[in-house]
A and B are shown apart, each in its own frame.
Chain A
Amino acid sequence: MNATTPGWQLERQGRADRPALALGGLVIATLLALPWLGDDAVLDLAVEFLCYLTLAQLWNLLAGYTGLVSIGQQAWVGLGGYALFVATSMAGLPALVAVPLAGLATAALAVPAALLLFRLRPAYFPIGAWVLAEVFRLSFAQLSSLGGGSGMSLPIEVATGISEDAVTRSMVIYYAAFAVAAGAVATLYLLLRSRAGLALTAIRDSEPAAEAVGIDIRAVKLRTYVVAAAGAGMVGALIFLARLRISPDAAFSVTDWTAFVIFIVVIGGVGTLEGPIVGTLLFFILRGLLADFGTIYLLVLGAAAVGVMLLAPAGLWGLVAQRFDLHLFPVRRRLVRRGSIS
Chain B
Amino acid sequence: MTAILDVLIQGTLTGGLYALFAAGLSLIFGVMRLVNIAHGDFIVLAAYLALALVAVTGINPLLLAPLVVLAMAAIGYGVQRTLFNKTLGADPLPPLLVSFGLSVILQNGLLALASGDSRRLQAGAIETAALSLPGDMSVGWLPVLTFGVAVAVIAALQWLFYHAPIGRVFRAASDDQDTVRLLGANNRHVYGLAMALAMAVVGIAGVLLAIRTNFDPAVGPGRLIFAFETVIIGGLGSLWGTLAGGVVLGIAQAAGARIDPGWQALAGHLVFLLVLLFRPQGLFPASRA
Residues of chain A at the chain B interface (Cβ within 8 Å) = 63, 69, 71, 116, 119-124, 126-128, 130-132, 134-135, 138-139, 141-142, 149, 254, 259, 262-263, 266, 270, 295-296, 298-299, 301-303, 305-306, 309-310, 313
Nearest CB on B from A307, distance (A): 8
Compute how far the CA of A128 lies from the CA of B83 in the bound complex, rounded to whole angstroms.
24
- Could you tell me if A131 and B86 are in contact, using CB atoms closer than 8 angstroms? no
- Could you tell me if A131 and B280 are in contact, using CB atoms closer than 8 angstroms? no
Contact of A120 among B97, B103, B232, B262 (CB under 8 A): B232
Nearest CB on B from A313, distance (A): 6
Q: Which chain B residue has the least Cβ–Cβ distance from A258?
A: B100
> B68 on the interface (CB 8 Å rule)?
no
Contact of A295 among B112, B221, B232, B272 (CB under 8 A): B112
Nearest CB on A from B91, distance (A): 8
Q: Which chain A residue has the least Cβ–Cβ distance from B222?
A: A134
Please give, as numbers and ranges, the residues of chain A lying within 8 Å of B29 by CB-CB distance. Answer: 123
- Could you tell me if B276 and A309 are in contact, using CB atoms closer than 8 angstroms? no
> B66 on the interface (CB 8 Å rule)?
no
Q: Which chain B residue has the least Cβ–Cβ distance from A310?
A: B86
Please give, as numbers and ranges, the residues of chain A lying within 8 Å of B97 by CB-CB distance. Answer: 69, 262, 266, 305, 309
- Could you tell me if B98 and A124 are in contact, using CB atoms closer than 8 angstroms? no
- Could you tell me if B276 and A120 are in contact, using CB atoms closer than 8 angstroms? yes
> B33 on the interface (CB 8 Å rule)?
yes
> B273 on the interface (CB 8 Å rule)?
yes
Pick 9 A–B contacts, CB within 8 A, sort by A.
A131-B269, A142-B262, A254-B221, A295-B108, A295-B111, A298-B108, A299-B109, A302-B102, A306-B102
Please give, as numbers and ranges, the residues of chain A lying within 8 Å of B109 by CB-CB distance. Answer: 299
Q: B254-289 vs A: 1/0 string, CB under 8 Å?
A: 000000001101100110110011001000000000
- Could you tell me if B92 and A122 are in contact, using CB atoms closer than 8 angstroms? yes
Please give, as numbers and ranges, the residues of chain B lying within 8 Å of A138 by CB-CB distance. Answer: 262, 265-266, 269
Compute how far the CA of A142 lies from the CA of B33 in the bound complex, rounded to whole angstroms.
37
> B172 on the interface (CB 8 Å rule)?
no
Please give, as numbers and ranges, the residues of chain B lying within 8 Å of A302 by CB-CB distance. Answer: 101-105, 108
Q: Which chain A residue has the least Cβ–Cβ distance from B92?
A: A123
Please give, as numbers and ranges, the residues of chain B lying within 8 Å of A119 by CB-CB distance. Answer: 276-277, 280
Q: Given contacts A298-B108, A305-B104, list 11 more A-B pairs with CB under 8 A.
A: A69-B93, A120-B276, A121-B236, A131-B225, A131-B272, A262-B100, A295-B108, A302-B104, A302-B108, A305-B97, A310-B86
- Could you tell me if A116 and B276 are in contact, using CB atoms closer than 8 angstroms? yes
Which residues of B, 136-156, contact A by the 8 Å Cβ criterion? none
Contact of A131 among B35, B104, B228, B277 (CB under 8 A): B228
Compute how far the CA of A320 lies from the CA of B35 in the bound complex, rounded to whole angstroms.
30
Please give, as numbers and ranges, the residues of chain B lying within 8 Å of A262 by CB-CB distance. Answer: 97, 100
- Could you tell me if A135 and B93 are in contact, using CB atoms closer than 8 angstroms? no
Nearest CB on B from A305, distance (A): 4
> B174 on the interface (CB 8 Å rule)?
no
- Could you tell me if B232 and A124 are in contact, using CB atoms closer than 8 angstroms? yes
Q: B52-66 vs A: 1/0 string, CB under 8 Å?
A: 000000000000000
Please give, as numbers and ranges, the residues of chain A lying within 8 Å of B277 by CB-CB distance. Answer: 116, 119
- Could you tell me if B35 and A123 are in contact, using CB atoms closer than 8 angstroms? yes
> B37 on the interface (CB 8 Å rule)?
yes
Compute how far the CA of A275 lies from the CA of B265 in the bound complex, rounded to whole angstroms.
37
Q: Which chain A residue has the least Cβ–Cβ distance from B102?
A: A306
Compute how far the CA of A287 lies from the CA of B281 in the bound complex, rounded to whole angstroms.
43
- Could you tell me if A127 and B225 are in contact, using CB atoms closer than 8 angstroms? yes
- Could you tell me if B225 and A130 are in contact, using CB atoms closer than 8 angstroms? yes
Compute how far the CA of A310 lies from the CA of B98 in the bound complex, rounded to whole angstroms.
8
> B187 on the interface (CB 8 Å rule)?
no
Compute how far the CA of A313 lies from the CA of B98 in the bound complex, rounded to whole angstroms.
10
Please give, as numbers and ranges, the residues of chain B lying within 8 Å of A132 by CB-CB distance. Answer: 273
- Could you tell me if A131 and B87 are in contact, using CB atoms closer than 8 angstroms? no
Please give, as numbers and ranges, the residues of chain B lying within 8 Å of A126 by CB-CB distance. Answer: 35, 37, 96
Nearest CB on B from A63, distance (A): 7
Compute how far the CA of A124 lies from the CA of B236 in the bound complex, rounded to whole angstroms.
11
Compute how far the CA of A310 lies from the CA of B110 in the bound complex, rounded to whole angstroms.
23
Please give, as numbers and ranges, the residues of chain A lying within 8 Å of B105 by CB-CB distance. Answer: 299, 302-303, 306
Compute how far the CA of A138 lies from the CA of B253 in the bound complex, rounded to whole angstroms.
13
Which residues of B, 215-245, contact A by the 8 Å Cβ criterion? 221, 224-225, 228-229, 232, 236
> B124 on the interface (CB 8 Å rule)?
no
Please give, as numbers and ranges, the residues of chain A lying within 8 Å of B104 by CB-CB distance. Answer: 259, 298-299, 301-302, 305
Q: Which chain A residue has the least Cβ–Cβ distance from B272?
A: A131
- Could you tell me if A135 and B112 are in contact, using CB atoms closer than 8 angstroms? no
- List 8 A-B pairs, minimum CB-CB distance, nearest first: A302-B104, A306-B101, A305-B101, A119-B280, A302-B105, A138-B266, A298-B108, A302-B101
Please give, as numbers and ranges, the residues of chain B lying within 8 Å of A313 by CB-CB distance. Answer: 94
Please give, as numbers and ranges, the residues of chain A lying within 8 Å of B98 by CB-CB distance. Answer: 305-306, 309-310
- Could you tell me if B276 and A128 are in contact, using CB atoms closer than 8 angstroms? yes
Please give, as numbers and ranges, the residues of chain B lying within 8 Å of A139 by CB-CB distance. Answer: 266
Compute how far the CA of A303 lies from the CA of B277 in the bound complex, rounded to whole angstroms.
37
Compute how far the CA of A88 lies from the CA of B228 in the bound complex, rounded to whole angstroms.
37
Q: B62-106 vs A: 1/0 string, CB under 8 Å?
A: 000000000000000000000100110000111011101111110
Compute how far the CA of A211 lies from the CA of B53 in the bound complex, rounded to whole angstroms.
54
- Could you tell me if B269 and A135 are in contact, using CB atoms closer than 8 angstroms? yes
Nearest CB on B from A30, distance (A): 32
Please give, as numbers and ranges, the residues of chain B lying within 8 Å of A141 by CB-CB distance. Answer: 262
Contact of A135 among B35, B262, B266 (CB under 8 A): B266
Please give, as numbers and ranges, the residues of chain A lying within 8 Å of B225 by CB-CB distance. Answer: 127, 130-131, 134
